[in-house]
Chains A and B, each alone.
Chain A
Amino acid sequence: MELGPRVHQQDGQGKAPEPQAAPSDASVSLAHEISVLWGEYLDGREVGADDDFFALGGNSLIGIKIIDRMLRDYGVELSVRDFYVAQTPARVAELIAQGRPRT
């Protein structure tokens, strides 16, 4: 059985990586939303988009709640490994953007 949720990657494997675009307004505001959301689980403290989850006092029990909340709010099931390696709201926002169904 699968031990943890896996990210639902949209881009197929083997494709050449697309050039990285500069952060758009949309991704900046998503990173901000996620920072605010993290704050709720981190004793209501102020969280910046580039703050480190662990430096903020994050731990796995908080991570479980946040990943669960991301699924409810954004419909994206984040991979546990990607989430903790990403470690900042900005980078988690990228994961969410990648994982969202494309319209």
Chain B
Amino acid sequence: MRLTPGTGKGIDLGLVDLFDLDLYTSGDPHAVWDLMRESAPLHHQVLPDGREFWSVTRYDDVCRVLGDHRDFTSERGTVVTHLGVDDVAAGRLMTSTDPPRHTQVRRAIGARLTARAVAPWEDRIRQAVARFLEPALDGGPFDLAERALLLPALVTGPILGIPERDWEELVQLTAMVTAPSDPHFRHGSEAATLAISHHELVTYVTEWVSRRRAAGGEDGSLLDHLMNVRAGDAPLTDEEIALDGYSILLGANVTTPHTVSGTVHALVERPEQFQKAQADPSLVPNLVEEGLRWTSAACNFMRYAVHDTEIAGGTVPARGAVVAWIGSANRDDSQFADPHTFDITRRAAKRHVAFGFGPHFCIGGPLARLTLRVFFEELLQRFASIELDGEPQHLRSFFIAGMTHLPIVAQKRQTP
């Protein structure tokens, strides 16, 4: 989706359809969210099929919906593509589980994904990033968005324990989950595309686990860790392993590539920011935070109100679905001055909620931060400049803000 908004003139919030995929492919959602934050902080929409949902767009409200499980439960599903259909994996899939069970599982799995735990992988990630950037060094056309889909494979594949030959298909499957209507990924109907991708991903993890068990021992990978952790004094069930393994694969694959593409695109459009980062590599960590805020790849997450709940000047009725628009919260001027300015020196950048907020804060966040920092360090060290080589194409999804094509050409840096 378009990351720099236009004027937003002529938008009628009563008529806006937040589930209109064209809004994200070729429209201007930021202009819509600006208006929602200003004049309809609790927005209600009924879809033609009768399903309805409420939206919060302000930073504080988004944090509350994401973080307060007593009022807003995750146990009926958290992904908007499933609005109205209770999650069949509730209470077993970690992301669809509330505390206290969530806390037990999260603590056990998360121990391997803290900043300290992932730090030793830095050299390996750097090598993978160098390999990834290599083909762009000859100055020829390079479709960053397309290629970036495979970046998590190179980086996290070995960490997860998944052989490289499987990644291309896994990347295809995870993309189907996030954008079942995008012609790049659709297979039959939207429902069929979602079911196929869920089915094959869960089956993949299940088969991985049985092969691992048959082989015996431990291989030190993250999936192996899932098989061996104890949560609340018992190991995870096979179903929990399959579902959380699926969830980790999904999380690794579908957000990082779009953060990379969106941030590079922002730098391409603003050569002065690119030069600033190049002149002072110590700015890279903050560039990463600003890139996360700017792109907000996970555009929203959903919760359901447990009871009638007052928020944002209105009331969400018991069992009502609430969509917390992360992309909007990250442009709220109560937190971010000149929110639509991409500024790698922004002081408050790290306050973004691109990784979510509260108990379900992205479990892979530290690994993503490490990967993105290394990526931009290597990029800035190798390339003197980057230019667009064609029109970017946006992902057809209201869940993931991303690109399917970002053609670029890069000039090699002569004096590193």
Contact = CB atoms under 8 A, between A and B. Distances in A.
A57 B362 CA distance: 30
Nearest to A52: B191
B117 interface: no
B173 interface: yes
B199 interface: yes
B83 to A, nearest CB: 14
Nearest to A64: B199
A84 B188 contact: yes
A62 B207 CA distance: 18
A60 B85 CA distance: 13
Question: Contact residue range for chain A?
Answer: 10 to 19
A92 to B, nearest CB: 13
B173 A60 contact: no
Contact of A81 (B165, B196, B204): B196
B191 A81 contact: no
B214 to A, nearest CB: 14
Interface string A44-70: 000000000010011111111000000
A80 B89 contact: no
B310 interface: no
A60 B195 contact: yes
B203 A80 contact: yes
Contact of A60 (B165, B188, B202, B204): B202
Contacts of B119: none
Contacts of B196: 60, 80-81, 84-85
B187 interface: yes
A61 B88 contact: yes
Interface string A1-41: 10110000000000000000000000000000000000000
B169 A3 contact: yes
Report the contact-size class of chain B (Cβ under 8 Å from the partner).
20 to 34
Contacts of B194: 60
B165 A63 contact: no
A87 interface: yes
Given A3-B204, A61-B89, A54 B191 contact: yes
A4 B173 CA distance: 11
A4 B195 contact: no
A80 B187 CA distance: 11
A63 B192 contact: no
A81 B195 CA distance: 9
Contacts of B187: 81, 85
Given A59-B88, A81-B187, A84-B192, A1 B165 contact: yes
A64 B202 contact: yes
Nearest to B165: A1
Contacts of B192: 54, 84-85, 87
Interface of B: 85, 88-89, 165-166, 169-170, 173, 187-189, 191-192, 194-196, 198-200, 202-204, 207
9 contacts: A60-B194, A60-B195, A61-B198, A61-B202, A63-B195, A80-B200, A84-B191, A85-B188, A85-B189
